[in-house]
Chain A
Amino acid sequence: MSANMTPAQLLASEPIDAVIQVLRERCSWPLMKRLLASKNLKPGGGWPDLRARAAKGDLDAQTINDLARRTYAGSILAGNRYVRLHELDPNVVTALWSRISTHVIPSSIFRARYPLPLVGSALDGAPSAFTLCEIRKTGSDIQFVFCSKQVIEESLTIDATSTPTVMSTFSQQFGIYDRFVAYKHTSIQCFDVVSLRPQLGRLEVALDLSKRSTEFEGDTRALALLFHVTLFLPELRPLVDAQQPTNLFPAIAEIYKSAANADTNIVDIGFRTPSGAVNRGKMPSTSEDIREEPFHKAGSERVDKKINPHGIVVAWAFSFPSGGARVKLWTSAAKSMVPIPSLWGLEIADTSADSDIVQALNKVSSYL
């Protein structure tokens, strides 16, 4: 961080144009439109138009400025996440509270710009190891934010006959090939979060899914992050040793069987029927529930609703505080056929604040 500036100060001092630019990487446009609507602002003509409106000196510009900064700050803890849950003994948190209060966060290349991301060569040269950048205390909750550089690999297969000029140059050095593959590596910065919520008896490992690196494997990475936390919080080591987080699979069927209401929409479902057929149903909108869709409803009632879901995507709307989330609990049909099916993590999307994450996870937990 710039000399003695807190993360909040750094964010507040960044030009709004730059803030919106980094916000685009962490907040989907549909979510941004909903947030603008909540402030009685029109969505206008997309991100370019939003930048232009934010630069005007009027009242709307000030509202957009505040909203953009607040949304970016919220996205550090929220946004799109892969989450695993562990049971947490509140006494453990009590025991390490004072130590955390005096813990000094080491300086790092990430911390110098935190909460804003590194860009360009600075990011390319940043470490891929989890790097602690913030310890945030809210009430009894403690949250650790780790930054790391990950890589997205893209490849392009090029048929030699379609690019004779390039092939000619290439073959002079390497010989004749029929096809070659070009790779591009793009660096991304991840903001992964470990949250201790003693009042909920829960530890959450929430991995950043704003952009998914090519090598991303949720369970392995979550375990690695938890292990990293135990290096300076050995009191949490038993959680790592136990290896298994909370099994979320039972929530799938319970959510499906729950009564339909205005704040809940099941928008995607994978299930097997009593005859063994593997089915999928997906709604085109998060405001429609597959359970009410005529085709699905007729089929479900035909088999007395005896279907076995192995995957579900549910969209929730929250009132206090207002917000929402889309949660995906999904395993394969094959993995659901074992005696005790398991699902160790879920994906949360379209969240703009930590309160959305908490409420979504509370919902899931209530069905366990």
Chain B
Amino acid sequence: MEINSRAELDSTLRRAWADGEELRLSFSILDFIANHPATAHIPYARLQQLAREQHLTDPLVVERVVQYLTGAEGHVLDLRAELIDENDDVHRLDEEEFQLAVTEHIHPLTGSVDPGLLTKLFVYFRPSRLARQVLWNSDGE
């Protein structure tokens, strides 16, 4: 089913999670995105904080929700990665750099294999094109 509205998105999430804690966290994340237009950087810690605010007891609820919301069906979040050096210079990995970093450990700035690369990349989330369209009424760009 193509999702074209918040109601349809909510419905998709209900089908996935019934009325479990995952659903409450998912709605909390959607509300956060809806209430913070132009948010392009959501650290993992923010999702943990949203779970705390909901008083959720499942220790793995954030992980399960992250896996689902970054997936193809309820695609609300894009998983991204960034490098931040000692000068606070930030390099956000584009899609190709992300793929090469994960599959071959190619450092995006040196172009060389770096076995420790995954310890240097920080994860964050960005609202997906779908989320931007249904929650911000934007054109998705």
Contact = CB atoms under 8 A, between A and B. Distances in A.
Nearest to A32: B111
Nearest to B104: A45
Interface in B89-113: 89-92, 96, 100, 104, 106-113
Contacts of A24: 111-112
Taking residues whose C-beta sits less than 8 angstroms from the other chain, chain B's interface range is 10 to 19
B90 A46 contact: no
B92 to A, nearest CB: 5
Most chain B beta carbons < 10 A, residue from A43, A46, A50 = A46
Given A45-B100, A46-B100, A284-B82, A29 B90 contact: no
Contacts of B96: 43
Contact of A48 (B82, B92, B112): B112
Contacts of A29: 107-112
Interface string A5-37: 000000000000000000010001110110000
Interface string B112-130: 1100000000000000000
A33 B110 CA distance: 11
Contacts of B110: 29, 46-47
A56 to B, nearest CB: 18
Contacts of B92: 284-285
A139 interface: no
Contacts of A28: 109
A30 B113 CA distance: 15
Contacts of A45: 100, 104, 106
A201 to B, nearest CB: 35
Contacts of A33: 111
B38 interface: yes
Most chain A Cβ neighbours within 10 Å, of B89, B96, B106, B108: B106
A282 B104 CA distance: 30
B91 A284 contact: yes
A32 B38 CA distance: 31
A57 interface: no
Interface string A45-74: 111101000000000000000000000000
Contact of A47 (B38, B82, B91, B111): B111
Contacts of B100: 45-46
Between B104, B110, B111, the greatest number of chain A beta carbons within 10 A of the residue's beta carbon is seen for B111
A24 B107 CA distance: 13
B19 interface: no
A76 to B, nearest CB: 20
B113 A46 contact: yes
A50 B92 CA distance: 22
Nearest to A293: B38
A50 B89 CA distance: 26
A28 B108 CA distance: 10
Contact of A30 (B90, B108, B112): B108
A30 B94 CA distance: 11
A48 B109 contact: no
A284 B81 CA distance: 12
A294 B111 contact: no
Contacts of B89: 282
Contacts of B88: 282
Interface string A291-304: 00010000000000
Contacts of A285: 90-92
A282 B82 CA distance: 14
A311 to B, nearest CB: 13
B104 A294 contact: no
B124 to A, nearest CB: 10
A28 B110 CA distance: 7
Interface string B18-43: 00000000000000000000100000
Q: Report, nearest first, the 10 A-B pairs whose CB atoms are least far apart.
A: A29-B111, A284-B90, A46-B111, A46-B106, A47-B111, A284-B92, A45-B104, A45-B106, A294-B38, A47-B112
Interface of B: 38, 82, 88-92, 96, 100, 104, 106-113
9 contacts: A29-B110, A29-B111, A29-B112, A32-B111, A46-B112, A47-B110, A282-B90, A285-B90, A294-B38
Interface of A: 24, 28-30, 32-33, 43, 45-48, 50, 282, 284-285, 294
